[in-house]
Amino acid sequence: MTRRKVLYIGGTGRTGSTMIDQLLGQFGSYFSGGEMAFFWSRGIGAGAICACGEPVRSCSVWSHAVASITEDPDRVADRMVALRRRFWSPHVFAMWIPGFSRRRLQEIAELPRTVEQLYEDVAVEQGIEVFIDSSKEPHYSYILREGSDLDLRFLHLVRDPRAVGRSWQRRKVEAGLATDEIMEQRSSPIASAYYMFSNIVSEIFWGNRPQQYAFLRYEDFVAEPAAILESIGEFAGSPIDPSSVLDGTSFAIGQMHTSWGNPSRVGRTSITIRQDDAWRTELPRRDLVLLTVLNLPLLLRYGYPIRPSGRRRDTPRSSRLRRADLAHR
């Protein structure tokens, strides 16, 4: 039996993952699922809006997939949320206790098996080869890798931590819900803690699996979207012809079913790929210094300049997805 291919976009939030997820979803053999780690809690439990404009619960794609699993979505949603909390990000620190991971994975085995069923139904019904999951959370990717037969490819997406920090500060309405809820905001210290934790854990879980792991800076993607897209296609195992979707640095959005992610996933008809360097002028000096100092180890590791006006560099530790040579660590 052929294992279902899943391109998992990992790392931390506010790195442009939803845009890349939806761009890849424009290619016929790919499906933009969105942040599937939150499918049951947000999509089913909180009534999230699918990118197609319908509530996830009544969207033709997702309602069919859920019906293939259960006749009682609310019960299963509660069950999946409870199981996921049994292996949350704080539990990563307990993984060094002998036997912890094995026992905990056995306890939550129903979760990855259910996720696999959900992906499989969507893939078969939509006739796609690669399901895109932009959940980012490295511990969730670990659960799927160890507890299912999915063929996961981990695309480690990073962005300058100061751009990430500024994005977390912005006040934005969560348009992906039927309420006027404001998206989560994080202070510079909290954003830095998440940045360091998520990226370090991503490397620990996946960095020694060269056939399943690739590294990409968002800034490099913006500079060479067509070349990077081709390389992502090679990495994910389903070729991509950028010219069939990209018009320079812009692309039109057809009907999508991205279940969760940045609220901009809903209602967009086109996207222009561009750098967002507003943080260079918008960040208060205190936050600029904090985000630079607190993230310094990864700032250097990923080739970002210490001074905002500095130039990004390539380092042996910071490979990029390229058309000519798909670089894995």
Percent share of the chain, pLDDT over 90: 83
Report the pLDDT averaged over residues 218-231.
96
More confident residue, 265 or 83: 83
Task: Tell me if 84 is assigned to some domain.
Answer: yes
SS3 readout for 105-135? HHHCCHHHHHHHHHHHHHHHHHCCCEEEEEE
Task: Tell me if 307 is assigned to some domain.
Answer: no
pTM of the model: 0.94
What's the gap between Cα 195 and its chain centre?
A: 14
Is residue 268 predicted with pLDDT exceeding 90?
no
Report the pLDDT averaged over residues 91-114.
97
Number of domains forming the structure of the chain? 1
> pLDDT tens digits, residue range 240-255?
999 999 998 999 999 9
Phi and psi at residue 6, to the nearest 5°: -130, 125
**What CATH number should be reported for the domain holding residue 101?**
3.40.50.300
pLDDT value for 183: 84
Task: Tell me if 93 is assigned to some domain.
Answer: yes
- Full domain range(s) for residue 33: 5-301
Task: Tell me if 283 is assigned to some domain.
Answer: yes
Closest CA to 11 of 281, 279, 178, 206: 206
Task: Tell me if 314 is assigned to some domain.
Answer: no
Query: What distance in Å separates the CA atoms of residue 166 and residue 276, rounded to the nearest whole number?
Result: 11
Is residue 128 predicted with pLDDT exceeding 80?
yes
pLDDT value for 321: 66
pLDDT value for 329: 36
Task: Tell me if 237 is assigned to some domain.
Answer: yes
Q: Provide the pLDDT confidence category of residue 267 given band limits of 50, 70 and 90.
A: confident
> pLDDT tens digits, residue range 67-100?
999 999 999 999 999 999 999 999 999 999 999 9
Task: Tell me if 268 is assigned to some domain.
Answer: yes
Report the pLDDT averaged over residues 208-212.
94
- Phi-psi category of 132—alpha, beta or left, where left has phi over 0 and alpha has psi -120 to 50? beta
pLDDT value for 121: 98
Residues in Cβ contact with 326 at an 8 Å cutoff, skipping those fewer than 6 apart: 214, 231, 234, 235
Query: What distance in Å separates the CA atoms of residue 147 and residue 116, rounded to the nearest whole number?
Result: 9
> pLDDT tens digits, residue range 271-282?
899 998 999 999
Q: Provide the pLDDT confidence category of residue 325 given band limits of 50, 70 and 90.
A: very low
pLDDT value for 1: 66
Kindly report the average pLDDT of the chain as a whole number. Answer: 92
pLDDT value for 315: 52
Is residue 160 predicted with pLDDT exceeding 90?
yes
DSSP calls for 76-97:
HHHHHHHHHGGG-GGGGGGGGS
Q: What is the DSSP letter of 203?
A: H
Name the E strands within the chain: 5-11, 30-34, 130-136, 151-158, 213-217, 250-252, 270-272
Task: Tell me if 317 is assigned to some domain.
Answer: no
Is residue 308 predicted with pLDDT exceeding 90?
no
pLDDT value for 320: 62
- Phi-psi category of 176—alpha, beta or left, where left has phi over 0 and alpha has psi -120 to 50? alpha
Cβ distance 150 to 142 under 8 Å?
no
- Angle subtended at Cα 139 by Cα 135 and Cα 143, rounded to the nearest 5 degrees: 95
Percent share of the chain, pLDDT over 70: 95
